[in-house]
Structure 1
Amino acid sequence: MRRSLKGRILLLLTFVLAVQVISYLNHFYLIKSELVERWYKNANVLVNAISNRLSYLLEEKMGEINTLIAKYERMGFSPEEILWRLSGDINSITEGAFYDTAGKRVAFSSRLKTSSVFEDVLSSLLEKTEMLGYYTDSYGELYVKVKIPDFQDNVFKGFYVAGINLNTLLEDIYPLSLQNANLYLLDGKGKVLLSMRQTGKENSLKASARVKGTDWVLVLEEPYSAVISPAYGFLFRSLMFGVMSTVGLGIVAFLIILRIFKPLDRLKENIIEWNKNRRINLQSDDEIGLLSKTFERLVDRLEREKEVYMSIFNSSVDGMLLVDREGRVRKANRSFLERYSVSEESLVGRHISEFIEPYSPEALFLPEALLTLGGKKYIINMCAVQINTENGEFTLYQLRDITEKKELELMIYRTSKLSVAGEIACSIAHQLNNPLASILTHAEYIHDASSDQKLKEKAQVIMKQALKSAETVRRLLDLARAFDGKPQKVNPYNITKEVIQLLSFKAKRKKVILEFTSDTNSELGIVCFPWKLEQVLVNIIENAIDASEQGQKVEIKLRREGDSYVWIVRDYGKGIADEDLSKVFEPFYTTKEDGTGLGLSLVKRFVEDMCGSINLRNTERGLEVKISLPLQIF
């Protein structure tokens, strides 16, 4: 049922009021969440600072005790006198005891009229400074017992044990700004040792931090109602403002309905009649009759102009999109629909940012943008023109497909980088060949001419490493030429085990676990270039080890999928930024501080030379590399 304009205005007022209330409530809950989140952030910083300060003060007190003991011993005081002076010089110490080297108590001093809480025999005789426990005096204040070994002229004489008042330390560092919060100390079992104030049973927020050097946990607690109280003030003020503004708007709307809508009702009836007959049969010379005739001529003119504009719009070779102020598509021309194989119904009403990125309504020209339609991606450039009409403000976008141009530019760029890589590899290889040949010749001479067995073994090592380096040089030359040798049949299981064994020393040194699993028959083979497959696996597994932290593992899986073998190497490191995944195979691109940027580019080239594929993807934690090679490469 269609509502009248009057009814719609009243409905709009009701809707505005409802939206305001919902908006205020939404903001209220957002403010509550923000206040709680901010409290946790600030409380964690504060409780960590207090915890660190408490740990520092404990260490400072123990250092001060140690210093004063040495001072008084040089002055010739007895243990009883030293203990009495310690309790007078340090405000957080009131009593203490001295134990001989066997741990037996031989002296005790206290400024409190209480019985001794120091045991007759020490439970720990380690000659180091440590905390022995804690106790509460008759006033309810918490003390921690600290044991300090006594050395005189590097000779161990016994132990001084003193009680440090934790209440005094916490009062010195307890922030005065914590009006509603409480700070208390828990032991390792969660028992409350010390509380700065009494707390109620209401719901509260808590932040905690461990005190360094102890098993204590410092907890900061504040009532939930005190944290979110500013949100309730906002809600009350917002609701009052919303009610007052809605009432004022309702009064204005009522006056408009009384003064304007009666004349408009007559015009509405005649326009309805015109819509049926394309003529307004209003035999009237008043303002309404004149307005009706003018309206009829204006509509005829607009329809003719619309036909001209639509003809220009659809005749454009480039794609054209008409977008409203909200960024939603209103119309697409024929070239756009045919070029990207979409229907106008599937586009109209969609936000342009859903299929074009990056999108900015302020940008009048974008040299490059990504268009995604029908599961396909296109590279386009965009020009924008602002259009103002009686129906509102629109933006007309002209879209030109430059996908083929960008693909050609990328191909030329990669080819040039590979060419440079080949030239560098060739130059390095030629520079190393002569020194390697000289090293190999002299090593062979030493091996054959010397009668010293140890010298022969060392010469043998030099020869082996020189031959290995020569092989590496030969592989460098493969960057500059396409000769790969002859493919051979190899066992993928065995060659993977060999690579893992080769890298096991590096993994053990870094404390990274290499985990290898395979569901293939170890007797089955694959025809490929063995040295290329070995280099591919070495590079990928070595990168995974480099990306792993101590104690993490690298998973290597080998399995058969149809007519291919698949290797999956996964680490649990930091992974690679999504925007960098498309660049890692480019020559000289690296994220390592000491990397050359050639490793993965060679890996990709070797895999493609063997008609295979390699893919990288970030997992929830780490990076996964998938290598697939066919059983036959020719």
Structure 2
Amino acid sequence: MKGNSSGNLRKKMIIVTIFFVAIPILVSGFITKTIAERALLEEKEKKLFGITSMLDQYLQHDFEAILQKEGTLSADEETKISVLNESLREFTDVLAKANPGIGVGYYVRGLDAIVTYGPSEEYGDIVGKDIEEEHPGREVMSTGEKQVEIGKQVRGQIMNAMLPLIRDGKVIGYVWANELTRDVESQLYKMDRIIFLCFGLGVLAVILLLVNFWNSLLVDINAVKQGLQQMKFDLKRRITVRGEIGEIADAVNGMAASILHARTLNENVMDSMVDGIITVNTEGNITFMNKAAMHLTGVQLEEVINRPYTKSMIHGVEFSSLLMETLQTGKTYIGIEMNYPANGKNLYISSSTSRLQDSDGKFIGAIVTFKDISEKKRLEQQVYRADRLAALGEMMAAVAHEIRNPLTAIKSLVQYLQEGSTEEERQEFHPLIIKEVDRANKIIHELLYFSRSADANFLKVNVNDLIRQTIVLVKNVSKHKTSFNLDLQDWIPEAEIDPEQFKQVFLNILINSAQAMDGPGEITVETDYDSIKGKISIVFSDTGPGIEEEQISKVFDPFYTTKKEGTGIGLAVVQRIISAHNGEIFMENIPSGGLKATIIIPINYSIRGEKNEKQ
């Protein structure tokens, strides 16, 4: 009966396992196939739009600029198409050659014709032709939105990415990059074969493994049952089983060994932990160190047992210990990161401390647990440096763009004057040149102000008074009819800040708010104090149009601005000053209309600037 019962159990377990394993694997395979196909198509789409962006950037200005340069602005359409083809064909051929199987080109809306189609040796005969009325390219030019279309078009059955060419708010044509769908379908077919083959082999392998697993499992279970019966009478008896059940057998053997050797559970736990553990008694003498603590500190327990912690673990440096502070005050610390000069070593650790109590709740000492996170800290610093370099690259690109605009205007005016001009024209253009020079100089001045690390002059300052002084300045320089509503709490303590720097912060925010309202409006300024956190909050609210949600995260980026005459440095300087004071600034739209800027700063800089390293 027992043999039949075991055999039936084996069959049932195998059937149920196959059912519940094979179906999820097949479903997962189908899902994986779908996701992989979608990912491939998205990758293709991203690649094609990347090529269209290159075409857009290569054009720079517009088609009329090319025709004007070649002196054919008034020529017939055939001549214009020929000139544009000569100017753009080389680049489209280079792109097509660099991306085999890809077709690229330009379509001019004003000429209603294809002016170039690369590779030209294959599609040169299409140049000069227009697209059909139902062609998706016409929808792209009509809506001004980029589009991907899969279907039969000029080149045949293709996946076509089309990007509108927009200059001065007008669509002047579009560019495209496409790939034959047979190439895409071929890649999808190869990918599907690999996925189905892998999952099919996986299902087969799982079934075979499960059959073998259940057979060996039942044998091992019977061996464990017999061993437990024998262990009732002989704790020296060991159960020897291989496979997964071997872990259970090992646990049983370990339990028997623990009883035989009278080892406590606490000792086993302590020696198995990867975190270092040190305990001291009420007098501050070391009572225990686990193996991890000895490894991290380089100190053996027998060398320091019953000796003072501060003298045994720390030599020749000033160090205020969290463990000793917990022992004396009862304050608990969790996850504090710091440098720890243990026995000549300089570790960077994460440390937690608490008091020790016996089973009756009596205070008997303190415990510290710590782990070495030096490698983590090093990797964080590498990531930080990489982020700084990336941010520097983005800022330099923005600087080049901002400086190039006034220089281009100056160059054009000077060239015009060199070619010959009247005294009246010179009198007209000289102020324009000076204006553009001043504009470039302003950008450079603000960049220098943003980049230099000016020393702050920290003083005890009444924030409310500083706000009132700044508003007087804004009223004197602002051209807008702006009213100010002040809700300043008089009981706010003085803050230790640089008054000139914060006057610049308030000035930039208030002027931005006034300019954003572009007419009569109201700015509300509120102050408050959180006595628990020791921080002051300053809130500026206006009745302007607010900022689009997707742009709020960019307002503090250097050179990002939505104003025609702005340089985009003001709010970047604001954030830098506030960060230097260990503060925070947030921007958010007001549901009823307007924008709210919230500044939070600690009131005491000297406490904020010190980092007490303890353990």
Structure number with bigger Rg: 1
As a proportion of its length, which structure holds more helix?
A: 2
Task: Report the TM range for the smaller structure's normalisation.
Answer: 0.3 to 0.5
Q: Which structure's relative contact order is higher, taking Cα pairs within 8 Å and 6+ residues apart? A: 2
TM-score, length of structure 2 as denominator length:
0.40
TM-score, length of structure 1 as denominator length:
0.39
